[in-house]
Amino acid sequence: MSELILPKGYKALLGRNDTEQGIKEIKEFFQTNLATGLKLRRITGPLFVQRGLGINDDLSGVERPVSFPIKDLGDTRAEVVHSLAKWKRLMLADQQVPVGYGIYTDMNAIRADEELDNLHSLYVDQWDWERSINREDRTIGYLKKTVKNIYYAMLRTEFLICERFPQLRPSLPEKVHFIHAEELRQRFPELAPKEREHQICKEYGAVFIIGIGGPLGDGMPHDLRAPDYDDWTSINEEGTAGLNGDLLLWYDTLDRSVEISSMGIRVDKEALLRQLKATGKEDRLGLYFHQRLMDGTLPLSIGGGIGQSRLCMMYLKKAHIGEIQASIWPAEMRKQCSAAGIPLI
């Protein structure tokens, strides 16, 4: 269990019924705005995928997927998804989604190795989206334009929910601030990466950190990324490495930054080979997903995930993600939250 934050004097602004209504309205309104802004159509996503195809997202490479044997497939094992980062790219190809358009789905995952706290649960729900692009779109400019479109959908949703519940007050700034992870490191060299995130978010309110996954000037990455979906090694038009990043928001209720989305332009053949070599994962080239990418049957794309429960938590000014979603929490956490006026579902 990670450190639990118990805001002093916390009192939920919405009761259980209003909270549930707020969650419904946020999810319905935001996904419609997201789909319109990015030209996405909804598809149905899987809860699990077959092991050994290279389709499941291995996150930072150390998290163990929940798995089970399939009786009618000779006990072939299936894995509950961590996210649909690679599956979506397969769907762009198989459904022949044209350039400039994309797909999105409700992704529901179980992450059994998650360290539980105010923001992290065993259960993960997010909007996973992916969009086909041209080679000339593989730029920082295109990435920033896409981030801004997503952020505008967040602003419109915040306005809606604050109109619906006047006791809530808007807190998002008008614009999102962009900074590369190396520039952030140089600005706060004495701080650990997460502390840098808190500092920059407190200053700007909404920040997109570019270049997550590759080594920085001190030889260490800002954060870990799997080598086979986001491109974190290509040198972009600004002269820095990486075509991906994280969108973070400052959250006064917990007095910290919150990562709301991880996204990026996806690897092409060259970036895949480079990143697999850098991480010692070249054996993955024999897997189904990686063979499809190398033989040119997958489109170039950009994509990411947006946390549903986290977004609802922030709009509704909740202190714990367990006020938004039903999950399993340690008995001691439930006891502490109850004493602090935080009603976990």
Residues marked as catalytic: 57, 111, 126, 246, 259, 262
What is the enclosing helix (H) or strand (E) of 156? helix 140-164
Say how many residues make up the chain: 345
Complete edge-to-edge strand list for the sheet that includes strand 177-180: 40-42, 102-110, 123-132, 301-307, 256-265, 244-251, 206-210, 177-180
Give the pair of three-digit tokens for residue 251. 């959250």
**Nearest in space to 27 (alpha carbons), one of 326, 308, 320, 262:** 308
Map tokens 């491109």 to a residue: 231
DSSP state of 212: -
What three-state secondary structure class fits 85? coil
Cα dist from 37 to 105, 148, 255, 266, whole Å: 15, 10, 30, 20
Give the pair of three-digit tokens for residue 242. 């990486």
CA distance 208 to 230: 15
Phi-psi label, residue 319: left if phi above 0, alpha if psi -120 to 50, beta otherwise: alpha
